[in-house]
Structure 1
Amino acid sequence: MDILSLLGIILAFAAILGGNVMEGGALGSLFNGPAGIIVVGGTLAATILQTSWPVIKRALRQSRWVFIPPYIGLEDGIDKVINWSVRARKQGLLGLEGLAEREPERFARKGLQLLVDGAETETIRSILEVELDSREQSDLEAARVFEAMGGYAPTIGIIGAVMGLIQVMTNLEDPSTLGAGIATAFVATIYGVALANLLFFPMANKLRGIVRQRSRYEDMMIDGIIAIAEGENPRSIELRLRGFIQ
């Protein structure tokens, strides 16, 4: 569980609700069903319209990373590569075959299998880099779904505000309806801006950060696997890979 993500969301909405109470406002004034339907529904509709179904599914799967990010252990990865290197120097590359079969990470398993098969270093690098780039682009495209939602939400909020003002202007002769119309107008704007800046944009940035960290890990694995294929000393490999840890 990413405590910072949970804490960030709690603080963001606590600040808005707490500030409203300190100004003398009622909490109920910030809850408006029609405004919520306009902003949330309109934002989802615009995002779905511009996005393909596979990308939406990937974005929904990735959304849990905001609170439960995938484990990316650079130190563990270095230890793993060093163990492979020691095994390869003692038993040859064929000695890695058993490790390849038991390796839980798909990317690392593929690299080990290429080593065992005796592929050329350039071939190994090319195959692994293509997979890394393809996966990275797909993950970033999924993260952009939340960025798009952040872009649409404030505009949809303005549409809700205009709709509320239209209701006010068309019912000036009935003062009992003016309050509801004005409330929808202002609350819709708050919903749009708040969702964009307190939820959607931060989620997109968080996911991009995780994708970049994951790509750095896989870049490190590629360098380690290539170094093993070239027969480098385990100590030299360790020193090289530690350059990935900032």
Structure 2
Amino acid sequence: MRIDKNILLLAKKQFCLDCNCLEGKNPTQLGKHGIHINRAKKLPGARIYHNELFFRAITSFGELFIMADETIYPWAKEFFKDASPEWFCSFKNLREIDRKMNEQGREILDTHIYFLPDMDAGIVEPICNVKWYEKDEILPFKEKNPFGNALMFSETQPDMLAVAAFDKEKMIGMAGASADGKYMWQIGIDVLPEYRGHGLAANLTALIKQEIIRRKKVPFYGTSESHSVSQSVAIKAGFLPAWAEIFTHKLP
């Protein structure tokens, strides 16, 4: 099991865009076990969710990428200077981050674990009838979208590709891919409840993963750290855990 070094490099370039690490730096020259703390700034091609730029933290393979608003930047520089990337999402650390966010009218929204392709995974074929949809062909699903985890219909993360599974004429599941960043497309998967538990989610996820790679983009899969079923789908579809992120938002 391994993640291709070129995919890792592209992922690292994406993290640099996401956390404003490019100023005066080449992403290929960042330290292998570095901590990179930068002021919040939206860069073209960055993955931005809910238009939230106040705080961003990504930890991956011994590196830590952090972006902090000017109001908390001095705190971030001091608090994270000796942080351990591997244990960054420990509850003790999350509690302190959440306390600081609360002072600014914000809170931790969630922590997610993300997966990148295992390049030693074999080629997968469909286990049922499938149909592919390109970007323009996805739009008709917007009015009645039965697969909300597969298709986002977001202006900032546009749906680029989808593959649907059919039982005769009935659409029973779909995997979709959205262009979340310059280098990376995120996969979402949804299967009708009565068709779950038979490997369909993993099959559709693997199929769209293969097609994204063929199009020279990096496919990634994200889920909650406590969602073991979703993590199992990722692993069965030929993914390996690669990084974690902390998301914050304004207090309601």
* TM-score greater than 0.5 by the shorter chain: no
For the pair shown, the structure with the greater C-alpha radius of gyration is 1
More strand by percentage? 2
TM score, norm. by length of structure 1: 0.23
More helix by percentage? 1
TM score, norm. by length of structure 2: 0.23
Report 1 or 2 for greater relative contact order, CA contacts < 8 Å, sequence distance ≥ 6. Answer: 1
